[in-house]
Amino acid sequence: MKKTLLTILQYIFFFGLGAILIWWQYGKLTTIDKEQINIAFQQVKEKIWLIIPVIIIGFLSHYFRALRWKLLLEPVNLRPSTINVTFAVLIGYLVNLLVPRMGEVARCSVLAKYEDEPVDKIVGTMVAERSFDLVCLVLVTLLTYLLQMDIANAYVWSIVSKIHFNMLSLVLIAAGIIAVIWLVFFIYKRSKQSKLGNFIRGLGDGVISIFKMKKKGAFLLYTFLIWFCYLSLVVIGFKAIQATEHLGWLAGLAMLVFGSLGMIVTPGGIGAYPIAIQGALVSIYAVNKNFALAFGWVSWMAQTLIILLFGLLSLLFLPLYNNGQKKLDKA
């Protein structure tokens, strides 16, 4: 009961935050602002054919993620089918849109159910993958800054100057992380043979699977392809609006970074993603604020459409595919 209530409160908080951001943003728009945004949307309609490469590349980004996840599963002796892993990844993203932070749990549960594999090891590999994604985001952020230091300095420092670091807060966060690690280790030492001990062991095996991979080159290749797909989606999106069609790959990198930060703030980036994109386009590339906001919303809607489309198709075809496989095995 408490867990359900906590999930509902979390759901209300994050979606409420997204709704507040949208309301705050819309409330600031003047009649001229709305007219310019409408012009931008009309330009997008004239290039609606761009949605075709966007959908294809969007799917490929998830497919490459599934292939990369499979490489992490091999060191812990898990070899699920590529189709099931792809379905699980897509369903995970769909769940994240509906229930904040639950997508990772959903994709692990789906894969464990249909492949009849232990969920603890699967969760461990998911943690390893997400940790590696965080490292990648940091590296992409540094690369973006170094490549565009001359035009990004002012904007970056304007953001940093607004952040007030509280040393006590940092110490408490660090102490909390250390305490959690110690608690997990203590529980494991006291109950190695229990179900909880086996779960912690499986989780640990999954996390260190990234160091045991035999195909590290393939892992890095899939990682590059995932991020290249993300970047390509942004650059293609630039072409849909006249105010952004002159922007290229470097600007795309910057939007990828700020958009990723927006995605973290609210479920699926609702409300926060367009604001983050608008701020970067206006401050770094001097794009008109209304066309920048329109681009942010168009980009967000395209990504959300991809997740809804393939996520719902995965929910439909996952049981059909596996039931068909069972019938073939019995035949």
HSE at residue 188, side-chain half, CA atoms within 13 A, is 13
φ/ψ of 250, rounded to 5, equals: -65, -45
Q: Residue 259 corresponds to which amino acid?
A: G
Question: How far is Cα 273 from Cα 287, in angstroms, rounded to an integer?
Answer: 17
Distances (CA, A) of 322 to 37, 74, 312, 327, 328: 46, 21, 16, 9, 10
Question: How far is Cα 152 from Cα 165, in angstroms, rounded to an integer?
Answer: 22
Can you give the length of the chain in residues?
331
For the chain, give every domain's residue range. 41-324
Residue 117, Cβ neighbours under 10 Å: how many? 18
Of the candidates 308, 275, 309, the one whose C-alpha atom is nearest the C-alpha of residue 292 is 275
Of the candidates 256, 246, 250, the one whose C-alpha atom is nearest the C-alpha of residue 296 is 256
Question: How far is Cα 258 from Cα 100, in angstroms, rounded to an integer?
Answer: 20
- Structure token digits, residue 111: 């894969």
| pTM confidence score | 0.79
Distances (CA, A) of 176 to 128, 182, 183, 242, 258: 20, 10, 10, 49, 28
- What is the CA 204 to chain-centroid distance, rounded? 23
Residuewise pLDDT in 10s, the chain (331 residues) = 555 555 555 555 555 555 666 665 656 667 777 788 889 889 999 999 999 999 999 999 999 999 999 998 888 788 889 999 999 999 999 888 877 667 888 888 899 888 888 887 788 788 778 878 877 888 888 888 888 777 666 666 565 555 554 555 556 666 766 776 666 666 656 665 555 555 555 555 555 666 667 788 899 899 999 999 999 999 999 999 999 999 989 999 989 988 888 887 776 777 788 888 988 898 888 899 899 989 988 998 899 899 999 999 999 999 888 887 766 666 5
